[in-house]
Every structure is written in structure tokens, then in C-alpha cells.
Amino acid sequence: MPVEPLSQKDIEDRLRELPGWSLPDGEERLARTYRLTSHFAATAMVIHIAQIQDELNHHSELTLGYNTVALTVNSHDAGGRVTEKDFELAHRVEAIAPGHGAG
Ligand SMILES: C[C@H](O)[C@H](O)[C@H]1CNC2=NC(N)=NC(=O)C2=N1
């Protein structure tokens, strides 16, 4: 089922429910960086996010740092615009972050 791109206002309204997530200036994608307590913890969170992304069939650009996990996401099937699927992924990742000690 095609998913429609969200308007700038819709995106801004939905971002209010996702502290820490942003729409970087001039970019059509949601972004968040989590800071973890160790490299191993960050790596474990990446694996968990990958599982969720395969379950949703919706995938971010996922970057593992020394003790950080950075995500940026938009919807390829919607021409690289931001859709509900991006917010669904963001909420699912937010839900697991505390369990990983992510801040
Ligand atoms: C064929 C496969 O179902 C599609 O390419 C999925 C895979 N993961 C995806 N991830 C993202 N971010 N956007 C998509 O449109 C998308 N589509």
C-alpha cells in the first residue's frame, strides 16, 4: 500500500511526541543519535534496531560510533519523503532505547 508523504506541519507536530528526534535543516529525513554506555552496548542496540527494521520492512541509515547509534530515515517508496512509516520506526526505536541504557 503506498504511503503518502507528510506535510512539513504534520512532521513538526509528530516530532513533538519524539524528544531527541529532529528534521535536520534542509533535509527530508528524521534523525536521532543515541549515546550508550559502551561500544558493546551501542552495537547491541544496532542489532536490536536491525531486527525491528526487518520486522517493519522499513530501514534507516544506521551508523555505529564508539558509543553512539545514529539513525536517519525517510521513505524510499515515497520518493525519499517522510511518511508515517518513518514515525512508526522512530517510535519503535524509542520504545527499546531505555532498555539499552540509551540517552
Ligand atoms: C522491497 C522492500 O520491501 C522495500 O524496498 C522497503 C525496504 N525498506 C525500506 N526502507 C525505507 N526507509 N523506505 C522504504 O521505502 C523501504 N522499502
pLDDT in tens, 50-96: 999 999 999 999 999 999 999 999 999 999 999 999 999 999 999 99
Edge-first strand listing for the sheet containing 68-73:
30-35, 68-73, 61-64
pLDDT tier for residue 1 given thresholds of 50, 70 and 90: low
81 CB near ligand 1 (under 6 Å): no
Q: What is the pTM for the complete model shown?
A: 0.96
Q: Is 3 exposed, middle or buried (0-12, 13-18, 19+ CB in 10 A)?
A: middle
- Whether 2 has a pLDDT exceeding 70, the answer reads no
76 CB near ligand 1 (under 6 Å): yes
Task: Locate the ligand 1 atom nearest the alpha carbon of residue 78 and give its number.
Answer: 15
Distance 58 CA to ligand 1 centre (A): 5
**What ipTM was predicted for this assembly?**
0.95
**What's the distance, Cα to Cα, between the start and end of the chain in Å?**
34
Name the residue ranges covered by the structural domains of the chain: 25-100
Average pLDDT over all residues of the chain: 96
Q: Which CATH class is domain 25-100?
A: alpha beta
